[in-house]
Chains A and B, each alone.
Chain A
Amino acid sequence: MSAVLKKVQFWILPIISGLLLLLVWYLIAYIYASKEGFDVQRIIIPFPHQILDALISERAALWASAMKTMQSAVLGFLSAVVVGYALSMLLASAVWVKQSLYPWVLVLQMTPVVVLAPIFVLWLGQGLPSIIMITFLIGFFPIVANTTMGLVSTDRNLLDLFEMCNATKSQEILHLRVPYAMPYFLTGMKIAGTLAPIGAITGDLFAGSSQGGVGGIGFMVIIYNSQLKIPELFATAFVACLLGFVFVGCVNYLHWYLLKNWHDSVRRAEAS
C-alpha cells in the first residue's frame, strides 16, 4: 500500500465512521422523539446539534471549569510523579525495604478511591486539597510499580561494567539505574496521565465546590444534572474528553521527547 493511501486511510476512515455514528445518533434520537415527544427527547437523548448549541452557549462556564479541573489534574499528577518516583527509589534501594513497604502500597491501591474520598473531604475539607489528594492516589500506583520494576531490572552486564569502572553507588544510580529505568517510569507516567483527569473529575464529584466563583468539570456535572440540562451535560462530557486528550498528549510528547534518540519503542513506532 502506498504511503499516500495509508495517510488518506488514517484520516478518512475515522471521519467516515464518525459521520456514520452521528447519523445513527440522529436516527435513534428522532425515533425516540417521535414516540415520546421532542421535549422528553431533549432531556433523554438530545440531538448532536443541541449539544453543539449547549457547548457554544455555555462555553465561558465550561472553559473556566475545564481550567479548574486541569489545575487539579496537573497538581495531583505532579504530586504522584514526585512522590511515586521518590518511593520507587526507596523501594529499589534494598530488598528488605521493598518487602517491608510494598504490601502497604498495594493495600492503598486496592482500597477504592471512592471509599477514601469522603474521608479526605472530612480531613482536608471541600475544595482543591481533597481533589488533588484523590487525583494523586489514582495516579500514584502505576508510577511506583513501573519505576520500581525499571530500577531493579538493570542489565547484569551493565552493572558489572560499572563495577569494573569502580563506580560509586551514587554514580551507578545516576548514570545507570535512573536512565535505564526511564522507559518504565515514562510508561507509568503515561498510565497516570490517562488517569489524572479522571481522578480530578472524580475528586470534583466528592469535594468540588464553586469556591472562587467557578467549579471544576465534576462540579458542573452535578449542577447540570440536578437542573436536567442534559445537552449541557453531554457538552461537559465532550470537554472532559478533550481535556483528557490534551493531558495525555502532553505526557506522550514528553515520553517521545525523552526517548526519541535511543529507545527501541519510539524508533520502531516511527519506522512503522
Chain B
Amino acid sequence: MVTVKGSQPMVRLESVVKRFGKTTVLDGIDFNAAKGEFISLVGPSGCGKSTLLKIIAGLHPVSEGSATVDGMEPKNAREEMAFIFQEANLLPWKRVRGNAELPLMMRGFSKERRTETANKMLELVNLSHAVDHFPWQLSGGMRMRVSIARALTLAPRVLLLDEPFGALDEMTRDNLNEDLLKIHARDNWTAFFVTHSAAEAVFLSHKIIVLSANPGRIAQVIEIKLPPDRNAETRESPEYLNYVAEVSHAIRTVH
C-alpha cells in the first residue's frame, strides 16, 4: 500500500473502504494532503476517482476507515470546501451573477455582500462583462469559469474538482489551467483534481495519485518537481514532457 503523507494535513483519509452494495469501489485508501497542496487523481475509468472526491466532500459516507477535513467530519467541514463538478452545473433560470452568488445566498449573506463578492470573483475569472447573461448565452469555457467563480465566493480552504475541463477544447482547457494555477497561487487552497489527462495533471499538480481499478487502490504517487510559476512555456520543457510520459505510462500499466 502506498501512503501519501504531508505535514499539517488538511485532508486525512485513513484505510478508507467504499462499497456500493456488494461491490467494493475503493479499498485501503490512506493519504494526508497538506495545506496548499495540489493533488491530481488519475487512473482508468471506474477506478473510483470521483467517488473518492465525493467522500472528501461528505457526499458519500465511507464504508470503513475514516475521512477528515481540517480535523472534522467532511459533512461538518462544508464551510471549508467547494466542489467544481464535471458539468458547469449552473442554474439555467439564474443569470451569471445569480449563479455565482448561490453559496452566499444559501448561507444568508446580505444582498450587498453577495453582489460585491460575486462581482470580485467574476472579475477574477474574466467574466465581468457577462454578469447579466444567462448560462445558455455562454460558451462551455465561460460556463466553467462561472462555476469556478461560484466555488471561490466562500474562500474555501479545500477545492474539489471533478474533471471540470474534460468537455472543453484543448486551447480553452490550457487557458483555464493557467488561470486556475494563478488563483491557487493567490489563495493557496488544497486541491483535489480528477482528470483523465496526464498532461493536465502534470501541469497543475504537486503530486499525482495513480489509482488502480476494481477495487480502486493507490497504485503509485508521482511527485512533480516543476517550478511553481508554470505557464505555456512549461509545456514545452523536457522535464514536463518526461513527467507526462511517466504519468501516461503509469496510467497505461496500472491494474
Interface residues of chain A, those whose CB is within 8 Å of chain B, are: 155, 157-158, 160-168, 171, 175-176, 179, 182, 261-264, 267
In the complex, are the beta carbons of A157 and B89 less than 8 A apart?
Answer: yes
Contact A158 B89 (CB under 8 A): yes
User: Do the beta carbons of B106 and A162 come within 8 Å of each other?
Assistant: yes
Docked complex Cα distance between A182 and B91 (Å): 13
Cα separation A141 to B2 with both chains bound (whole Å): 59
**Are B85 and A262 in touch, CB under 8 angstroms?**
no
Bound together, the chains give a CA A185 to CA B197 distance in angstroms of: 42
Interface of A is mostly: helix
Stretch of B62-70, B74-82, B169-177, B246-254 lying at the A interface = B74-82
* B135 surroundings in chain A (CB, below 8 A): 262
Q: How many whole Å from A128's CB to the nearest CB in chain B?
A: 37
Contacts of A163 in B (CB 8 A): 59
- List chain A residues, Cβ under 8 A from B91: 158, 175-176, 179
| 25 CB < 8 A contacts A-B | A155-B89, A157-B85, A157-B89, A158-B89, A160-B57, A160-B59, A160-B83, A160-B85, A161-B85, A164-B82, A164-B83, A164-B103, A165-B78, A165-B103, A167-B106, A175-B106, A179-B91, A179-B93, A182-B93, A261-B134, A262-B93, A262-B135, A262-B136, A264-B136, A267-B136
Residues of B close to A155: CB separation below 8 A: 89
- A157 touching B87 in the complex, CB below 8 Å, given contacts A165-B103, A175-B105: yes
Which residues of chain A are within 8 angstroms of B107 by Cβ–Cβ distance?
A: 165-166
Determine if B21 is an interface residue (Cβ-Cβ < 8 Å). Answer: no
How does the 8 Å CB contact mask read for B133-156 relative to A, with 1 for contact and 0 for none? 011100000000000000000000
| B87 contact set on A, CB distance < 8 A | 157
Which 8 residue pairs across A and B have the least CB separation, nearest first? A165-B106, A167-B106, A165-B103, A262-B92, A164-B83, A262-B93, A179-B93, A166-B78
The reply to whether the CB of B102 lies closer than 8 angstroms to some CB of chain A is yes
Residue among B79, B81, B135, B136 having the largest count of chain A Cβ atoms under 10 Å = B136
Instruction: Give the contacts of B39-95 with A (CB-CB under 8 A).
Output: 54, 57, 59, 78-79, 81-83, 85-87, 89, 91-93
Considering the complex, give the chain A residue whose CB is closest to the CB of B154.
A165
A163 to chain B, nearest CB (A): 6
CB distance from A113 to the nearest CB of B (A): 35
Contacts of B83 in A (CB 8 A): 160-161, 164
**Distance (Å) between the CB of B148 and the closest chain A CB?**
14
Of all chain B residues, the one with the shortest Cβ separation from A159 is B59
Task: Give B81's nearest chain A residue, CB to CB.
Answer: A164
A166 and B79 in contact (CB under 8 A), knowing A179-B91, A262-B134, A263-B92? yes
Interface residues on B, range: 20 to 34
Q: Please pick, from B59, B93, B134, B136, the residue contacting A164 in the complex, using a CB distance under 8 A.
A: B59
Residues of B within 8 A of A179 (CB): 91, 93
Complex Cα spacing A263 to B135, Å: 10
In the bound complex, how far is the Cα of B92 from the Cα of A153, in angstroms? 16
Known pairs A160-B59, A176-B91; list 15 more (Cβ under 8 Å): A155-B89, A157-B87, A158-B89, A158-B91, A160-B54, A160-B85, A163-B59, A164-B83, A165-B102, A165-B107, A166-B78, A167-B106, A175-B105, A262-B93, A262-B134
Chain B residues within 8 Å of A176, by CB: 91
Specify which of A162, A171, A261 lies most central, judged by the most chain B CB atoms within 10 Å of its CB. Answer: A261
CB distance from B236 to the nearest CB of A (A): 36
Closest to B92 in A: A262
- List chain B residues, Cβ under 8 A from A158: 89, 91
A167 to B130, CA, bound (A): 26
| A179 vs B92: C-alpha distance when bound (angstroms) | 9
Partner of B78, one of A164, A171, A175, A267: A164
* Contact between B102 and A164, CB atoms less than 8 A apart: no
Establish whether residues B92 and A171, one from each chain, have CB atoms under 8 Å apart when the complex forms. Answer: no
In the assembled complex, the Cα of A255 lies from the Cα of B173 at a distance in Å of 38
Which residue of chain B has the shortest Cβ distance to A264 in the bound complex? Answer: B136
Q: Which of B110-138 contact A (CB under 8 A)?
A: 134-136
Task: Tell me the bound Cα distance from A155 to B89 in angstroms.
Answer: 9
Contacts of A164 in B (CB 8 A): 57, 59, 78, 81-83, 103
B79, B89, B105: the one contacting A161 at CB < 8 Å is B89
B residues less than 8 Å from A175 (CB atoms): 91, 102, 105-106
What A residues does B89 contact at CB under 8 A?
A: 155, 157-158, 161
List residues 178-199 of chain B with CB under 8 A from any CB of chain A. none
* Distance, CA A182 to CA B136, complexed state (A): 17
How many angstroms from the CA of A167 to the CA of B136 in the assembled complex?
Answer: 25
Chain A minimum-CB-distance residue to B135? A262
